[in-house]
A and B are shown apart, each in its own frame.
Chain A
Amino acid sequence: MIPKNIKSWLDSGTPWIWLNAGAVSVSILMVLGLLTLIAVRGLGHFWPASIAEFEYMDAEGTNTLIIGELVDHENVPRSRIAETDIRIPEDMDFIDRYLIKTGNRDHLGMDFRWVVGNGMMDIRYPDELMAVERRAWGNLYAYLVAVKQNGQDDPADNSSVWDKFQQAIAETAVVHDAIEHIEKDLIGEINFSMERLRLQAKQLGDSGAQALLAEQQNQLQQQYDSHTEELSRLYAGLGRYSITARISDGSEIELPLSQVVRAYRPNAMSLFAKVSFYLKKLWEFVSDEPREANTEGGIFPAIFGTVMMVIIMSIMVTPFGVIAAVYLREYAKQGTLVRIIRIAVNNLAGVPSVVYGVFGLGFFVYFIGGNIDELLFAESLPSPTFGTPGLLWAALTLAILTVPVVIVSTEEGLSRVPRSIREGSLALGATKAETLMRTVLPMTASAMMTGMILAIARAAGEVAPLMLVGVVKLAPSLPLDANFPYLHLERKFMHLGFHIYDVGFQSPNVEAARPLVFATALLLVLIIIFLNLAAIHIRNKLREKYRASEQH
């Protein structure tokens, strides 16, 4: 028997209201929780974590020294760990496990290692432990023993080893930058010109022109040779310094400085030093190129590719979307047909993006691209120029994908322009076109902006269609460079969203790459939330504005 007061409470329906309120709370918590998770994981990655050193006793009872960062912790029931483990007391049901980033993949065979908390003894954080970021093989955690020049200790220099090391890194970095400049920019340019000459030669075919081309080719070859000479000189300089470091198993290893990006001693760092290091890393993340199969370094090409693609897309989508909206709202005869079209356009915004990808691949890439190749780039066939996924096709596909957004938004803006304004303009003798251009469209500008921003926000986050029409995990060159015609629409590009998918799921070392994926996700989320908030803000302002004008 239910007490009476409970029954009346149930009958009032209040519990239902509370349950509904609970649904709101759960939704809000999920959204905020998700954003917090991404933010914490994404931003935490760049903080210089302390390096621990401890004696570790494994299940058989043998001791080893482990050096590394504590990355993760979990509490697992005993049954998930081997039964015969001498370290764990019989009555212990749960065991702490720690994930240690031990680095030194080239020496230890793995970056990460789960250790059982019970086996960890004598944990300490010595100041002298250093972390070295390398160009290959991930981080190195070790004690610095000596800095060598041309394989020799330099006894004349009596500054501290660590200072010498830092100085050597700085010197090597200069050489490294010079090499990169020659390899990427200068030689890249020559290769580009060479390829163009080769295609010209193929096109011309007759011997007179061939000779001229051969002449030019010779010149390029000479330039190329002088660059390679310079390069070999620089490479010799690059190999000048090396260090000796002692790693956890006590062995001393040699590391040439050409392999070193930077070195730091987190345990010895002050808070201020850590903050400045953190900011430097953050900057590197957004401005640098990826290293080691995208699992280290920055994501600049992906940011650049995303921005490039979005810009090209908005250049295409905005005018066409606006024209279509103006046509539908201002010129087309309002009737059943227009209503059907409007519903169809609305619906297209809900068609799965991968379908647009399929369309883009079939129609733009294979059909239009294939024909462009045959007409304009016949000399480089059978290797396709436009008949293969690329920036232009990705932008076009996303333009088609987002054009309904612009149309809907602009139409809404047009419908909000008060009738009196149109009529006033017409009454003053303006033609319809003039009314449109001088009064209606300027008033709709913010609606168009909203549409464009929403389109950009949608395009920036789409990945599925891009997988079909132009995105790659690692693009050899940016779509914008110093070689004519500067903007290379046919090139493949990198994209933040695809970067997340690729690094998170296709990378050989997912564990090491995960923080980086969180950071990339954070960046993408921030961009998209920012764009959406801007759109919402503009839309609200717009409403205010017209509410005011409607009241007059």
Chain B
Amino acid sequence: MNNCYAGKLAGLKKQNDHGHTNQIVYIFQYTGSCNKYVINHTYTCAMSVSNTETFLPDFNDAAAIRYRNYRKLKDVVIRYLVAIGGSGVIAAIVMIALYLVWVVVPLFLPARLEQVASYSLPGGSEQASVYYAMEEQHEIGMRVTDLGGILFFNTTTGGIIKQESVLSDPSRSVTSFAAGDPAQRLLAFGLDNGSVLLRSHQYSVTYPEDKRLITPSVTGLLDGKPIRIDSIQKRLMLLSAQSDETQTTIAAVTEDGRLLLVNLALQSGFLGDGQTVERIDQTIQINTNTKVTHLVLDVEQRELYFADDRGWLYFYDISDKTAPQLLERIRVVHNNARITSLQFLSGGISILIGSTDGSISQWFPVRDADNNYTLQNVRNFDSQTAAIHSMVPEHYRKGMLALDEAGNLGIYHATAHRTVKIKQVNSGPKGMLAIAPRANAVLVEGSNGELQLWDLENEHPEVSWNTIWGKVWYESREQPEYIWQSSSASSDFEPKFSLTPLAFGTLKASFYAMLFAIPLAIMAAIYTAYFMSPGLRNLVKPTIEIMAALPTVILGFLAGLWFAPIVEAYLPAMFLIFIMIPLAILSTAWLWHTLPERIRLRVPAGSEAIILIPVIMLVTALVFGISKPIELWLFDGNLPLWLTQELGIAYDQRNSFIVGIAIGFAVIPTIFSISEDAIFGVPRHLTTGSLALGATPWQTMARVILLTASPGIFSAVMIGLGRAVGETMIVVMATGNTAIMDLNMFQGFRALSANIAVEMPESELGSTHYRILFLAGLVLFMATFVFNTVAEVVRQRLRQKYSSL
């Protein structure tokens, strides 16, 4: 039929040449098609007007045409506006998911490593390099040579900015070199007379004419004078040094194979002025045929590691400098392999060992049951095959770079157990390596006397599938664990980003909530839809539905501040009430059944719920009344304490039980309302048919109605679950928000949603933490979206089914 309107008004003609002065005749002509018939009607219409002039413009009058065109234009404009606006709004909504994905994706993007410059070695290749470093902005690089030269150069051009030599006495020569923790910028030079020179490279930033200018400088530590390490003045062949504000520790191996340890502690004078240096000298006894190849001190100056040429690692506790103690001697590489590189990961807890077979292993001391520390091989990286020649740790993260003799550069992250990238850089067998403090640039000394600057983009190496969902062995922990701990005061902190405990918390909350809500909501729905009198139903349904609109912040507040203390004080009542109320209902039902019909019939059918209200109130009051005496009688007056002491069940005041009831309360109306609709919508003839065949009302309900409405009830539960999973304020307010994984009903948890609400405002834009919180949001989004879609599809199917029945 609609087509009939598709025709158009072909013409409107005014005829006033009839000679009647008071009448105008209009002829409407309508052309169009209705189904297959073509219509061509002409209507004639006569109108009386008071004078000869018409009040309507001529159909083909310019104004009329203009007006028609205007209307047509308006129609088109509105059509497009609505289309653009409508699809825009819908696109905006859909964009939410895309935006979340867009923020999350960089977490999983591979690292990018690109060479940006290459130039011949600053200062020439006559001297061999022993160390490279870069400052914060990676504008200036530093090269240290084996003759004691320190050269600062522009990292993009290679032009030398400043150069100096540490040796003031030309007769001396440098025999060994060590750099301290990269963040401390300490350089140590071992001399051929058994002395050590300590230097520090510093960078000052100024802004002349609003342009950044970085000026490098070298300063001496401890007055810049040589420190005599070996009293018999032998050459120092291996060196390691660390220094902070209060003390400096130097370990060195002499040419005759002695291992010396010197500690210089700054002691403030009594009057605050004049500091004295207190010196401790120690010789660590090592086997004479042990040839030490690598020597490292940790940044806290409490541990000393050295490696020998047969693949053994020695672990000394030097926290007491007067009594170094060998804690462990352990073989750390595969058979036939040797240790080729030994480095600390940032923070000085984990030690990294590179070997001739190209594998890198991470070790750290782990406390065992007897409180002893033993080195454990925490993880291995086997991505490279040639001997690892040089390794550098990132300054602030638990990542590292390794260069092998085949010229491959490997980028790793320890916590994530991730080989981020392997790239051929043509460094040759003796390549050197440096990483910028912000881990965004790399210097590589190539095989043929050139230096390469590489741009590194490696924003989120700490994220892998395993760090987010799996167990990870974090530094200083006894075993691999699921931990969420996003921040800490110290800078060398290892972030722990496992979403597993949070997802567990979310599921735990939803589980207890559904345990409480599903029976109550569905049973209430069954009664309201089928047994309740219609008048009452019109009252009850909106009342329960109002609950859905109750802000959850109020439920959370009541749960945390009002309900939690009550539960703690009346815990026995909480257990009893779940038994007593059903019992009371059943006994009331039996009593009612035994009442004479005379009385029973006076109450209209479908009023059971009203009869039960006083009963339930009474029973609740009774249960609370006997709660204290029972507690006193059976549990020593304090059930929570009794649970903890006798059963080992920890009790938090704000726990999963409270949250379960509060969230249950929030989702009951949702589940109730949708399942009530589903049950109420079951076609009448099904029930009347069943009843006519002699089934009791309950049989009809259980065998016919519930069965027919079950998809609707299922979708109600799914939507309720979606709400429970995403519930935020109740969880924030009614649990302790500690990320523990424990099924105990009386302990708290930390849920995904609460974690986002608590941590998001403090997380730094674009950081890994920020993106992981977005990932948590995305997980929630997906979960609820799946639940809701399933529910919606099921519901639509059901609607079709009902209409076909």
Contacts and interface: CB of A to CB of B under 8 A. Distances in A.
Nearest to A317: B89
A402 B561 CA distance: 29
B760 A433 contact: no
Given A19-B523, A344-B93, A501-B732, A354 B780 contact: yes
Interface string A33-68: 010011000000000000000000000000000000
Nearest to A332: B86
Contact of A524 (B554, B558, B732, B777): B554
Given A37-B562, A38-B554, A358-B100, A464 B729 contact: yes
B9 A354 contact: no
A497 B589 contact: no
A461 B551 contact: yes
B616 interface: yes
B524 interface: yes
Interface string B1-15: 110010001000000
B551 A497 contact: yes
Interface stretch (A76-84, A131-139, A293-301): A76-84
A362 B519 contact: no
Given A18-B586, A77-B638, A26 B520 contact: yes
Contacts of B92: 400
B698 A16 contact: yes
A426 B7 CA distance: 11
A30 interface: yes
A357 B549 contact: no
B719 A350 contact: yes
Interface stretch (B74-82, B131-139, B195-203, B222-230): B74-82
Contacts of A525: 550-551, 554
A22 B612 contact: yes
Given A464-B757, A501-B553, A514-B561, A12 B78 contact: no
Contacts of A24: 523-524, 527-528, 532, 540, 609
Interface residues of B, number: 117
A161 to B, nearest CB: 40
A355 B757 contact: no
Given A78-B637, A355-B726, A331 B523 contact: no
A30 B665 contact: yes
Interface in B578-610: 581-582, 585-586, 588-590, 592-593, 608-610
A477 to B, nearest CB: 21
A528 interface: yes
B613 A29 contact: yes
Contact of B549 (A30, A353, A354, A528): A528
A20 B527 contact: yes
Contacts of B526: 20
Contacts, number: 334
A504 B551 contact: no
B561 A13 contact: no
Interface stretch (B264-272, B290-298, B373-381, B785-793): B785-793
Interface stretch (A120-128, A204-212, A214-222, A318-326): A318-326
Contact of B556 (A432, A501, A536): A501
Contact of A350 (B581, B586, B722): B722
B357 interface: no
Interface string A297-325: 00000000000000000000000110111
Closest 10 CB pairs of A and B: A352-B726, A327-B86, A13-B698, A461-B551, A21-B608, A23-B523, A77-B637, A18-B589, A20-B527, A464-B728
Given A6-B590, A358-B777, 8 more contacts: A34-B665, A327-B83, A345-B90, A357-B756, A434-B75, A467-B761, A501-B732, A524-B554
24 contacts: A6-B590, A13-B696, A18-B592, A21-B531, A24-B523, A28-B613, A37-B562, A38-B554, A93-B632, A324-B85, A326-B82, A344-B93, A350-B788, A351-B785, A354-B728, A354-B777, A358-B760, A363-B99, A404-B93, A429-B9, A432-B75, A458-B549, A464-B728, A504-B733
Interface of B: 1-2, 5, 9, 71-72, 74-75, 77-79, 81-83, 85-87, 89-90, 92-94, 96, 99-100, 103, 519-521, 523-524, 526-528, 531-532, 540, 542-544, 546-547, 549-554, 556-558, 560-562, 569, 581-582, 585-586, 588-590, 592-593, 608-613, 616-617, 628-629, 631-632, 636-638, 665, 668, 672, 696-699, 701-702, 719, 722-723, 725-729, 732-733, 753, 756-757, 760-761, 765, 773-774, 777, 780-781, 784-785, 787-789, 792-793, 796
